[in-house]
Amino acid sequence: MQAFVLRSISPLEYGIEDIPQPPLADGYARVRLHAAALNHRDVWITKGQYAKIELPVVLGSDGVGEIVEVNSETDGLTVGTYVLLNPNINWGGDERTQSKSYSILGMPQQGTLAEYISVPLNRIHRVPSHLSSEQAAALPLAGLTAYRAVFTQGHCSNADTVLITGIGGGVALAALHFAVQSGARVYVTSSSEDKINRAVELGASGGFLYTDSEWTKQALSHTGGFDLCIDGAGGATMNQLLNVVNPGGRIVSYGATHGIVPDFDIRKVFWKQITLQGTTMGSDNDFASMLRYVGQHHIVPVIDSVIPFAETQRAFERMNGMAQFGKIVVSLR
Ligand SMILES: NC(=O)c1ccc[n+]([C@@H]2O[C@H](COP(=O)([O-])OP(=O)(O)OC[C@H]3O[C@@H](n4cnc5c(N)ncnc54)[C@H](OP(=O)(O)O)[C@@H]3O)[C@@H](O)[C@H]2O)c1
């Protein structure tokens, strides 16, 4: 089968090659992938900026396709069923955090940037009926991370004024859908006026350019402050969030695109009685709840672009350049 293989990081060597189809173990199904999607994780791995990198590897944590072979039947998952994959491997039994043996589909296990993948039946869910393959492929990792950040960890409600940072990102846009749907008043930050305008079209009440050194002042005068901040930027942004979050408010951190936090001002955390909550991916229960929520409310993930499998390298370059608004999907059809 054809797969997009990362062979070396320095120098960077990745591309499509022929590799053997993965074996089909007991309790597994073979899925012919129709669409995959990129996450920033894939880009971090190509840069060597990720823990425990094992090469060579077929990257990709998001996948949608059709079962083509199954050696035991569970819950009607038969050949021809149209499915979406849960990227969690071994979350474990504690809803609060993942187990020590936790991993994410797409390293060390073979990922979804390939024609076929072999996955345990308990990683397989039916595709929400209102979504196309490309839309559904945009959902798993970003949707799961955003759902847990907004609801499980952030306890978002219609009483909240919420700030979501870096709205061009896949997780940030999924968080926007969820927070808006919950009835909260939602604001965003971005490097681009155009992306803020597009977020407003999706239900945001407004936004601020994080590239403007005065954005925290503008945000405070415009909104009065935020009860909940959902952040994937980290870096200097975290100290800015300590200024714009309301006393008693919550900051949920899911990423550090902007790096580690310089001169973290701990005094604001205790004086303002702020809850700083980390979050990563989500449990299998979060995943099932996220799919139910998306189905009930007919949420459609925002797709930046659909790129043919033969041009997967271009998908990586686009994500690296941060020009995207939403998910970069790779079509394998
Ligand atoms: N913990 C987890 O389970 C988990 C899961 C998924 C992702 N992550 C992490 O979360 C981050 C986002 O992931 P993603 O896949 O959604 O990435 P993505 O789609 O590549 O989005 C990245 C976005 O980050 C924003 N950004 C960059 N610098 C920023 C800054 N200084 N302040 C605010 N926003 C900034 C940009 O927003 P604009 O374009 O609007 O400027 C950009 O579009 C990555 O660091 C990723 O590793 C963590």
- pLDDT by residue for the chain (333 residues), tens digit each? 999 999 999 999 999 999 999 999 999 999 999 999 999 999 999 999 999 999 999 999 999 999 999 987 677 889 999 999 999 999 999 999 999 999 999 999 999 999 999 999 999 999 999 999 999 999 999 999 999 999 999 999 999 999 999 999 999 999 999 999 999 999 999 999 999 999 999 999 999 999 999 999 999 999 999 999 999 999 999 999 999 999 999 999 999 999 999 999 999 999 999 999 999 999 999 999 999 999 999 999 999 999 999 999 999 999 999 889 999 999 999
Ligand 1 centroid distance, CA of 89 (Å): 22
Write down the pLDDT at residue 198: 98
Residues 164 and 117 in one domain: no
Provide the whole-model pTM. Answer: 0.97
Ligand 1 centroid distance, CA of 72 (Å): 39
Ligand 1 centroid distance, CA of 39 (Å): 9
- Report the C-alpha gap between 57 and 192 in whole angstroms: 34
Write down the pLDDT at residue 73: 67
Residues 71 and 101 in one domain: yes
Instruction: Assess if residue 22 is contained within a domain.
Output: yes
Q: Which residues sit opposite 67 in a β-bridge?
A: 31
Instruction: Assess if residue 295 is contained within a domain.
Output: no
The domain in which residue 176 lies consists of: 145-278
Write down the pLDDT at residue 72: 79
Kindly list the protein residues whose Cβ atom lies closer than 6 A to any atom of ligand 1.
Answer: 39-41, 44, 141-142, 145, 165-172, 189-192, 195, 210, 232-233, 235, 237, 254-258, 280-281, 319, 322
Instruction: Assess if residue 285 is contained within a domain.
Output: no
How many domains would you assign to the chain? 2
SS3 309: helix
List Cα–Cα distances, 206 to 146, 271, 289, in angstroms: 20, 28, 28
Instruction: Assess if residue 43 is contained within a domain.
Output: yes
Provide the CATH number for the domain around residue 322.
3.90.180.10
Ligand 1 centroid distance, CA of 188 (Å): 13
Instruction: Assess if residue 150 is contained within a domain.
Output: yes
Write down the pLDDT at residue 71: 83
List Cα–Cα distances, 201 to 60, 196, 204, 206, 302, in angstroms: 30, 9, 7, 10, 12
Instruction: Assess if residue 220 is contained within a domain.
Output: yes
Residue 21 token pair: 């189809």
Provide the CATH number for the domain around residue 214.
3.40.50.720
Residue among 322, 324, 329 whose CB has most ligand 1 atoms within 8 A, to mutate: 322
Instruction: Assess if residue 31 is contained within a domain.
Output: yes
Which residues are CB-contacts of 115 (< 8 A; sequence separation ≥ 6)? 1, 2, 3, 32, 33, 332
